[in-house]
Amino acid sequence: MADHAAHTHDSHDHAGLWDGAKEPFKASYGKLMMWYFLLSDAFTFAGFLIAYGTLRFSSPSWPVPDFVFSSLPGDIHHKPLIFVTIMTFVLIASSVTMVRAVQEGHRYNKKGVVFWMFLTILGGLAFLGCQAWEWTTLIGKEHMTIHNNPFGSHIENGVYLEGDGHDIKAGDSFVAGSSYMVHKHDGEWAPLKYKTESGDIKEQQLGPKAFGALFFFITGFHGFHVFSGVVFLLIIMINAWSGIYAKRANKYEMVEKIGLYWHFVDLVWVFVFLVFYLL
């Protein structure tokens, strides 16, 4: 051992800058490449979110998030943003349990790693479940698709001439900027007629089409990241359980790497949440 140590020390002294065997960033290859992958992924997501912003800027009106996202399981309506806040908590909680798994890995506590990773997986599945419910409601009940967006906004003041049997009655008045959802009856759009202040009779229009496509594509892409994350977490949890990472004696680095990915998914959600639900 002493000879070996002396030898490596010697070779380090004489090694040139480009001879390798040095880690200027003091991070392993795998960890470094995970960071650069995440950087490139951040650009992909940024591209999508900027596209959303661009189309929103280009449109005279845009669906209001606290009107669009206001349903809860159990047929509860008009509770703006509550459900997505719960989704956000689920993801934050699963990020926190992931940090604990990495910490237990540094102490070579196999049981701890498996336990906290298991909780992280449950969090990921819970988030996916929430998203599945959200999508089902939007597609099945509210008829939003990548081609159609029932959520519009009025561009002038007026009075409804007919009701939709839900929230709007004939004679209800509205102001410019207020939101509405066009319902479907027997598979056909049933826009309501209204009278504007200047006396014109008009019909509700569907909202900007791009909204549906952007919503499903961006939250879908994020959801796919969560799904892939759950699959990788599952594989790595089983590997950790088998003892393979303990043998590698590198402080469960694989757990640390999937942890980076998992936190990144949470990080992206911070911005998806900001762009789609808050602004």
Q: Which positions lie near other proteins, rule CB under 8 A?
A: 24-27, 32, 35-36, 38-39, 42-43, 46-47, 50-51, 53-60, 66, 80-81, 85, 88-89, 92-93, 95-96, 98-100, 102-103, 106-107, 152, 155, 205-210, 256, 259-260, 263-264, 266-267, 270-271, 273-274, 277-279
Question: Given the complex with other proteins, which of 54 and 242 has the nearer CB atom?
Answer: 54
**Minimum CB distance to other proteins, residue 48 (Å):** 12
**Minimum CB distance to other proteins, residue 203 (Å):** 9
**Minimum CB distance to other proteins, residue 267 (Å):** 5
Distance, CA of 167 to CA of 144 (rounded, Å): 18
- 3-class DSSP assignment, residue 190: strand
Number of CB atoms found within 10 A of residue 158's CB: 22
Q: What angle do CA 43, 126, 75 make, to 5 degrees?
A: 110
**Minimum CB distance to other proteins, residue 141 (Å):** 22
Distance, CA of 179 to CA of 67 (rounded, Å): 7
Question: Given the complex with other proteins, which of 55 and 161 has the nearer CB atom?
Answer: 55
Distance, CA of 276 to CA of 92 (rounded, Å): 18
Question: Given the complex with other proteins, which of 160 and 273 has the nearer CB atom?
Answer: 273
Question: Given the complex with other proteins, which of 44 and 242 has the nearer CB atom?
Answer: 44
- 3-class DSSP assignment, residue 179: strand
Number of CB atoms found within 10 A of residue 112's CB: 17
Helix axes 29-57 and 210-242, enclosed angle (nearest 10): 160
**Minimum CB distance to other proteins, residue 131 (Å):** 17
Q: Looking up tokens 């102001």, which residue turns up?
A: 175
Tokens of 123: 């969090």
Question: Given the complex with other proteins, which of 10 and 200 has the nearer CB atom?
Answer: 200
Question: Given the complex with other proteins, which of 1 and 57 has the nearer CB atom?
Answer: 57
Question: Given the complex with other proteins, which of 137 and 148 has the nearer CB atom?
Answer: 148
CA 73 to chain centre: 19
Distance, CA of 158 to CA of 270 (rounded, Å): 38
**Minimum CB distance to other proteins, residue 224 (Å):** 20
**Minimum CB distance to other proteins, residue 72 (Å):** 14
Could you tell me the sign of the dihedral formed by the alpha carbons of 240, 245, 246, 252, in that order?
negative
